[in-house]
A and B are shown apart, each in its own frame.
Chain A
Amino acid sequence: MSVVNVWLFPARLAWRQLVHDRPKMIAAISGVLFACVLVFMQLGFKDALYASAASMPLKFDGDLFLIHRQSEAMWRPAQFERSELIRALGHPAVAEVIPLYLSLATFKAMDSNVKRTLMVFGYDPDTDLLNIDAIKSMRYALRVKDTVMFDEFSRPEFGPVGELLKSGRNRTEVNDYKITILGVFQLGISFAADGNIVTSDQNFLRIFPNRDIGYIDVGAIRLHPGTAIEPVKAELKTLLNDFVKIYTYEEMLEHERLYWENAAPIGFIFNFGTVMGLIVGMVIVYQILFTEITNYRFEFATLKAMGYQHQYFVRMVFASALILALLGFVPGFVLSNGLYYLAESQIFIPMPMTLEKIITVFVFILFMCATAGLLAIHRLKSANPADMF
């Protein structure tokens, strides 16, 4: 009973005082809400960035992958000799190697004729490098000259390709080269590319006449079923030249993710935004608590004269901070949830509201309010009954 009361009584007084001054409480809650939404959005965008950056190699069907060591990320690859990949066939565990050609190119929207950049994947359709059923089912059709498949998760600026295909329009230009769209598949966009198309290696070289068939961007390696991947990776490393890096599927995803996290300043920007949001929220809460203590210092001095001790008021300030954190977080979460939904449905960025994210933001907000409380406590010293009566 007593232990509960030690916190319950100051918390109850804190609550009564907050409720008594509604406008100030609403201002404080708005501050917390603002910080909450800002942090949710920054974290959401950051995760979305990493998730979609890693989405490019997500559907690759292979055990090991070669990229040039100068390749920072897949949307900006450095080419290397195809013969380097072919040499991997010399290893007995390697069953198959698949050269992949990648390039950004302009795509002319069929309805508006506006040109916009997307990513072109070129590989032999018979290899089924992308593990997407819609593409696999078109592997024979894709052998035909100047045919492509279009990613319907591309940004809407590329036009309603799916609907246009149904109405019979399927001709447009990629890199100023006329092509026919055979159908659509679903992959998803990244921050690097607003859309994707897949074509055969032969068509790729037609779309990009200055590309050489002997120079590839990514090399995928498939091993015989049941082979342990790590030892083969180590042996291939000694077999191949130093200028290629060899990655497992997971390492490939990690490489892409780390690029956005470190090499590009984007990870820093979002982290910075998160910290700024928390600081602004903290300053607002601090200001409110500070003026609260200033306004109530006469009452606090009265309570001190009655026998209340400093610790009681410290607990009270922290209770106020905690109440504001809770009251600000709940609407902040609801609003952020709506914004996440909006982001997913309107700007096609994957932004899932995960439990982990909710807990992270809540801990941040608690920490923010507790810090504000800690800073405001020194103001309590001004409530000295001997100086006031």
Chain B
Amino acid sequence: MVIEVHNLNFSFGSGVLTQPVLKDIDLVIHKGEIVIMTGPSGSGKTTLLTIIGGLRQASSGSVVVLGEQLVNSTERTKVNIRRQTGYIFQQHNLLNSLTALQNVCMTLEMQHDLTETERSYRAQEMLTAVGLKERVDYLPEALSGGQRQRVSIARALVGQPKIVLADEPTASLDRQSGHEAVEILKQLAKVSDTAILLVTHDYRILDIADRVIELEDGMVKTA
């Protein structure tokens, strides 16, 4: 098990304005598993994802990721989890001033034991794996939407994370490039036995999942 969520409750605001977003969430994701989480907007999908990714602090229940308790955790624990997690955003969220290769290297620059050559080599390998061998020195603005998202997949995977969290990765892509992107993601994850939790509205990509869970009004809907 890489992700284990029990009785997670989360709400925005305080006092009379308290707005519960997640209610009694239970969720377990195993190593190498691909889970798609769907549900209408406002159902709390992204909030759950940001809590699991160590971006948001939850205060009740239990969220254990890679053996670390994230509820009421320190900043240090959360940063530690962020570094072992690949995050793919709705927009590609690449750094506009960096080339595709430099963007991918940003993940590796947090590991200070690698040399410049090793970083460059691994980033190049990863970009080749997502089919962008010819585009390594392009700036994001010179790439198409699908290519940018593939760079961002390379960036998420190059650090060999145990978990990939993806928030609507196909939302800004057309059907074909969206499908290509998740297909690449799935293949690479299977090779390295990486678990994927993918939030999406996009029913066209449900077929890549091992399991689909649906969230509604902050609760997991049992199928």
Taking Cβ atoms with an 8 Å cutoff, the residues of A that contact B are: 1-2, 5-6, 9, 13, 16-17, 19-21, 298-299, 302-309, 385-386, 389
Contacts and interface: CB of A to CB of B under 8 A. Distances in A.
B110 A308 contact: yes
Contacts of A385: 50, 55
Contacts of A304: 55, 82
Contact of A305 (B53, B57, B98): B53
A389 B89 contact: yes
28 contacts: A5-B109, A9-B109, A13-B95, A13-B106, A16-B97, A16-B102, A17-B95, A17-B97, A20-B97, A21-B97, A299-B95, A299-B96, A302-B89, A302-B95, A303-B106, A304-B55, A305-B55, A305-B87, A306-B110, A307-B83, A309-B79, A385-B50, A386-B50, A386-B55, A389-B46, A389-B55, A389-B89, A389-B167
Given A1-B112, A307-B79, A307-B82, A16 B98 contact: yes
Contacts of A2: 112-113
B107 interface: yes
A17 B102 CA distance: 12
Nearest to B168: A389
Interface in B71-99: 79-80, 82-83, 87, 89-90, 93, 95-98
**Majority-rule SS of A interface residues:** helix
Nearest to B49: A389
B56 A386 contact: yes
A6 B95 CA distance: 20
A216 B55 CA distance: 84
Nearest to A302: B93
Contacts of B89: 302, 305, 389
Contacts of A299: 93, 95-96
A159 B112 CA distance: 71
Contacts, number: 61
Interface of B: 46, 50, 53, 55-57, 79-80, 82-83, 87, 89-90, 93, 95-98, 102, 106-107, 109-110, 112-113, 155, 167
Given A16-B97, A16-B102, A19-B97, A306 B87 contact: yes
A305 B57 CA distance: 13
A352 to B, nearest CB: 42
B35 to A, nearest CB: 19
A9 B112 CA distance: 10
Contacts of B107: 306
**Majority-rule SS of B interface residues:** loop
A20 B106 CA distance: 17
A68 B65 CA distance: 87
Contacts of A309: 79
A241 to B, nearest CB: 77
Contacts of A307: 79-80, 82-83, 110
Contacts of B95: 13, 17, 299, 302-303
Contacts of B82: 304-307
Contacts of A305: 53, 55, 82, 87, 89
A38 B102 CA distance: 39
Contacts of B53: 305
Contacts of B90: 389
B87 to A, nearest CB: 5
Given A389-B55, A389-B89, A306 B112 contact: no
A108 to B, nearest CB: 67
Nearest to A298: B93
A40 B80 CA distance: 49
Query: Among A5, A303, A306, which residue has the most Cβ atoms of chain B within 10 A?
Result: A306
Query: Among B57, B83, B112, B113, which residue has the most Cβ atoms of chain A within 10 A?
Result: B112
Nearest to B76: A309
Query: Among A6, A19, A309, which residue has the most Cβ atoms of chain B within 10 A?
Result: A309
B51 to A, nearest CB: 9
Nearest to A303: B106
A307 B80 CA distance: 7
A305 B166 CA distance: 12
Contacts of A386: 50, 55-57
B109 to A, nearest CB: 5
Closest 10 CB pairs of A and B: A20-B97, A307-B83, A307-B82, A386-B56, A302-B93, A2-B112, A17-B97, A386-B55, A385-B55, A299-B95
